[in-house]
Chains A and B, each alone.
Chain A
Amino acid sequence: DAKTTQPNSMESNEEEPVHLPCNHSTISGTDYIHWYRQLPSQGPEYVIHGLTSNVNNRMASLAIAEDRKSSTLILHRATLRDAAVYYCIPTNAGGTSYGKLTFGQGTILTVHP
Chain B
Amino acid sequence: NAGVTQTPKFQVLKTGQSMTLQCAQDMNHEYMSWYRQDPGMGLRLIHYSVGAGITDQGEVPNGYNVSRSTTEDFPLRLLSAAPSQTSVYFCASADARWAQYFGPGTRLLVL
Contact = CB atoms under 8 A, between A and B. Distances in A.
Interface of A: 32, 34, 36, 42-46, 49, 87, 91, 93, 98-106
Given A32-B98, A99-B33, A100-B48, A43 B42 contact: no
B104 interface: yes
A89 to B, nearest CB: 9
Nearest to A106: B42
Contacts of B44: 103
Nearest to A91: B98
Contacts of B42: 87, 103-106
Nearest to A98: B98
B interface, over-half SS? strand
Contacts of B103: 43
B50 interface: yes
Interface of B: 4, 31, 33, 35, 42-45, 48, 50, 58, 90, 92, 94, 97-105
Contacts of B98: 32, 34, 49, 91, 93, 98-99
Given A43-B92, A49-B98, 4 more contacts: A36-B100, A99-B100, A101-B45, A102-B45
Nearest to A47: B99
Nearest to A45: B102
A45 B58 CA distance: 20
A87 B42 CA distance: 9
A99 B43 contact: no
Contact of B99 (A42, A49, A100, A105): A49
13 contacts: A36-B100, A42-B105, A43-B4, A43-B92, A43-B102, A44-B90, A44-B92, A45-B102, A49-B98, A49-B99, A101-B43, A103-B35, A103-B44
